[in-house]
Amino acid sequence: MYETIQVLHSYWAYLVLLILILATGNALFKSITGKEYSATDFRISLFALIVSHIQLLIGLILYFVSPKLALFSELGMGGVMKDAINRLYLVEHPLINIIGVALITIGYSKHKKKLTSAPKLKTIAIFYTIALVLFLSRIPWSTWLG
């Protein structure tokens, strides 16, 4: 079960990154060029919100069925924090990505309250860009691409 969820989490991450890059790039491009906010922009940002929340749910399930979780009781928090790999998988990756999904949620929610195109696009651009940077900073690249 663990391996299946891990594969799903890894492959779903490609979709999340693709859609989030699309939503971020779209919002940045339209903000810079002064184009109007459209129904397509709404759908792209909503889809980014949905796929990131699904990824969060898959990740939380993976976290709690992971054999690595036992390292907290074996090594203690200090032992986990001293090892870079264990710290990445058990602390940094989950925490930073939860913050990233929260930023996407906040940005999406705030953009709906704006009345004109420029503030809507600017809000999505700012929150989604920060979330994207956070996601990219905590992907375990050595195992993900290897």
Which positions ≥6 away from 146 have C-beta within 8 Å?
A: none
pTM, entire model: 0.92
* Composition of the chain by helix, strand, coil, percent to 5: 90, 0, 10
Per-block mean pLDDT, blocks of 10 residues, the chain (146 long): 92 96 96 93 97 97 92 89 91 96 97 92 97 94 71
pLDDT at res. 1: 86
- Could you state, in order of their start, the residue ranges of all structural domains in the chain? 1-145
Residue-wise DSSP of 104-124:
HHHHHHHHHH--SHHHHHHHH
Q: Measured between alpha carbons, how far is 42 from 137 in angstroms, rounded to an integer?
A: 26
What local confidence, expressed as pLDDT, does residue 145 receive? Answer: 67
Q: How far apart are the first and last CA of the chain?
A: 21
